[in-house]
Amino acid sequence: MNHFALTIVGRDRPGIVSQVTEILFDLGCNIADSSCSILGGQFAMILILGHAEFNCRESFGNAFKPLEEADLTIALRVLKPGGEIHPALEGEICMVSVYGADQPGIVYRVAKILGEKQINITDLNTKLVGSEERPVYVMILEAVLPAGISEQDVNVLMNPLREQLQVDISVRTIPTVEL
């Protein structure tokens, strides 16, 4: 099976997921992994696709033309073998949440501290909530703690940022659930 990464971005409207998945179904693609969200007023989706016969971008022909005509931007990338496989991330999963006044650098500064300790961020979401008069910046990220780093260690690492940025940062481990 050959694998591809398909990215779709465009102004949000109802029916995009249906339109995309119909095209993929008609092509005989298997969706191995996916994520989609609304960022501002923009819809953003990334999918990891598998197809037994397709081996290059050209294999898809003009299948995505209706999406482009609907003002969506499409990017398709051929993955090298193994690019579709979930990495074996060993370690405790933790959730870091940040709440406070919106200001430049929150994501960078938290990510920098985590990256310096080899803490792998596996998911990250940010939003502005609250009212226009009192907006609150919210960042929620999931990360995998390497051996030797605990929830308490991450809490200590975040202390300077709490003070410098005047934000609330909480860290908690998430129990692993197996299906």
- What residues pair up with 38 in beta bridges, in sequence order? 43
Model confidence, pTM: 0.78
C-alpha distance from residue 132 to each of 12, 102, 136, 168 (Å): 21, 12, 9, 20
pLDDT digits (tens, 9 = 90+) for 88-147: 778 899 999 999 999 999 999 999 999 999 999 999 999 999 888 888 999 999 999 999
The CATH architecture one would assign to domain 2-78 is 2-Layer Sandwich (3.30)
Which DSSP helix (H) or strand (E) runs through 88? none
Superfamily of domain 92-174: ACT domain (3.30.70.260)
| Res 179: pLDDT | 52
* CATH 3.30.70.260 residue spans of the chain: 2-78, 92-174
